[in-house]
């Protein structure tokens, strides 16, 4: 190859046998750009003392290099921490009270816009159950991503069966019954109520819901706090249940959207109290790409205002449970649908889903009068020995297809 020559024995002439100093003349024949050339190189061999000095210089150089690597590592940690601080500031500016991760102190040597921020040791623990779940979910997802890389999930999505029309099923149920379409929740437990159903068979419950007139199903996939799991979602989908399925998970990472799709989900939940506007917008794009519906959940007027400012949202869930006190007040639905918010929702033909605190026909009538076209109900029907009768009791009449 050009620029290379075979290895040859080089003639070496030693001018002096001294170990401390000698002159060496080396003749080298090599090819440069195809042209052969002869060249004699003369150099003075270093003494033992100069070799030791060079070794010392080398050690110092390695030490400096190691220090440089450490400096770069710390600089990276500082940048990562600063990005987290900017994200936190963005969330605060949008009224988001849920912190995505436990607060952390600035890395050693940090100097920047957050230099004067005080670290409150009392704030190291979660302030409410949603924040606790969010912190845990961030760690859980990190572990799951190692076992299921995103590239592998994308390939699995290509082979997954097509999704069912979640939004269309709710519209059809509302038109058929004249009542809010039912998203019946397959849920074994909750942090506030504990175990809701001891003999929990997700497939049996799902079939009963479908037979009782549910338009769609919501399946809890969080294991730690709700004793759910993605295996329940897969089992229900594999059992031939025709109702579209909502993956009821606490989404903090786009990876979860792909994972839910591979497990049989037709829709996912996005919580505005956890996600900022840019994150919701980005996740909506992923949902559209994967043919998934997205139920965007709000708790108060500020969150409702934010969500209505984001394009592409068809489903808005109003959770009547306070994040701070965990108390439930269904008048929250009415308040959020009054005035300008309600007008925008009607103009855009969005479906509002009433969530939490719905136990009786009067509760259903109240939120329907406020403007909801669907309801998500779990506790009041899953606790019934006969979920079909539980659904009829909730609506005041039989809403099944028969």
Is the Cβ–Cβ distance between 184 and 358 less than 8 Å?
Answer: no
Verify whether residue 121 is a known catalytic residue: no
Verify whether residue 373 is a known catalytic residue: no
Name residue 219's beta-bridge partners: 186, 247
Q: 77: which 2 tokens?
A: 């940690």
- Coil, strand, or helix at residue 55? helix
Verify whether residue 356 is a known catalytic residue: yes
Tell me which of 188, 197, 248, 373 is the catalytic residue. 248
Place of tokens 């819901």: 209
- Read out DSSP for 217-270? EEEE--STTT---HHHHHHHHHTT--S-EEEE----SHHHHHHHHHTT-SEEEE
Task: Round to whole Å and give the CA distance between 56 and 59.
Answer: 5
Tell me which of 88, 131, 140, 185 is the catalytic residue. 185
- Count of H-run helices and E-run strands, the chain: 14, 13
- Read out DSSP for 287-355? HHHTT-EEEEEE-SHHHHHHHHTSTT--EEEEE-B-TTT--B-THHHHHHTSHHHHHHHHHTTPEEEEE
Tell me which of 356, 373, 380, 388 is the catalytic residue. 356
Tell me which of 190, 232, 276, 319 is the catalytic residue. 319
Tell me which of 355, 373, 380, 388 is the catalytic residue. 355
Task: Round to whole Å and give the CA distance between 287 and 280.
Answer: 10
Verify whether residue 224 is a known catalytic residue: no
- Coil, strand, or helix at residue 183? strand
Q: How far apart are the first and last CA of the chain?
A: 82
Of 216, 229, 223, 222, nearest to 185 by C-alpha is 216
Radius of gyration of the chain (CA): 33
Of 205, 209, 207, nearest to 228 by C-alpha is 205
Of 388, 397, 371, 390, nearest to 180 by C-alpha is 371
Verify whether residue 355 is a known catalytic residue: yes
Tell me which of 88, 131, 137, 187 is the catalytic residue. 187
Q: Which residues are catalytic?
A: 185, 187, 248, 297, 319, 355-356
């Amino acid at each position: 190859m050009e620029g290379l020559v075979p290895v040859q024995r080089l003639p070496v002439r030693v001018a002096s046998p001294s170990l401390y100093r000698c002159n060496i003349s080396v003749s080298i024949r090599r090819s440069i750009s195809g042209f052969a050339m002869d060249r004699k190189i003369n150099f003075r061999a270093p003494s033992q003392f100069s070799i030791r000095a060079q070794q010392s210089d080398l050690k110092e150089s390695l030490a400096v290099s190691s220090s440089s690597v450490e400096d770069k590592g710390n600089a990276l940690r500082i940048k990562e921490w600063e990005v987290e601080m900017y994200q936190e500031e963005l969330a605060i500016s949008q009224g988001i009270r849920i912190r995505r991760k436990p607060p952390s102190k600035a890395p050693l040597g940090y100097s920047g816009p957050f230099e004067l921020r005080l670290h409150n040791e009392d704030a190291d623990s979660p302030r409410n159950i949603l924040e606790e779940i969010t912190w845990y979910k961030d760690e859980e997802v990190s572990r799951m991503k190692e076992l299921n890389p995103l590239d592998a999930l994308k390939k699995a999505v290509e082979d997954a069966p097509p999704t069912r029309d979640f939004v269309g099923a709710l519209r059809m149920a509302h038109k058929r019954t004249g009542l809010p379409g039912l998203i019946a929740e397959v849920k074994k437990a909750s942090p506030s109520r504990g175990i809701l159903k001891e003999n929990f068979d997700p497939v049996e419950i799902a079939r009963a819901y479908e037979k009782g007139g549910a338009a769609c199903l919501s399946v809890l996939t969080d294991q730690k706090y709700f004793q759910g799991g993605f295996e329940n979602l897969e089992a229900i989908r594999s059992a031939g249940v025709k109702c579209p399925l909502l993956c009821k998970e606490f989404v903090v990472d786009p990876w979860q959207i792909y994972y839910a799709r591979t497990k049989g989900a037709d829709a996912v939940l996005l919580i505005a109290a956890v996600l900022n506007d840019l994150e919701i917008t980005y996740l909506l794009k992923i949902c559209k790409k994967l043919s998934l519906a997205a139920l965007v959940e709000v708790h108060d007027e500020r969150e409702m205002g934010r969500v209505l400012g984001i394009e592409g949202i068809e489903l808005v869930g109003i959770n009547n449970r306070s994040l701070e006190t965990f108390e439930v007040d269904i008048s929250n639905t009415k308040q959020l649908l009054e005035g300008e918010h309600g007008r925008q929702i009607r103009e855009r033909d969005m479906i509002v889903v009433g969530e939490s605190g719905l136990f009786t026909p009067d509760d259903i009538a109240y939120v329907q009068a406020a403007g909801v076209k669907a309801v998500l109900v779990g506790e009041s029907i899953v606790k019934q020995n006969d979920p079909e009768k539980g659904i009829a009791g909730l609506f005041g009449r039989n809403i099944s297809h028969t």
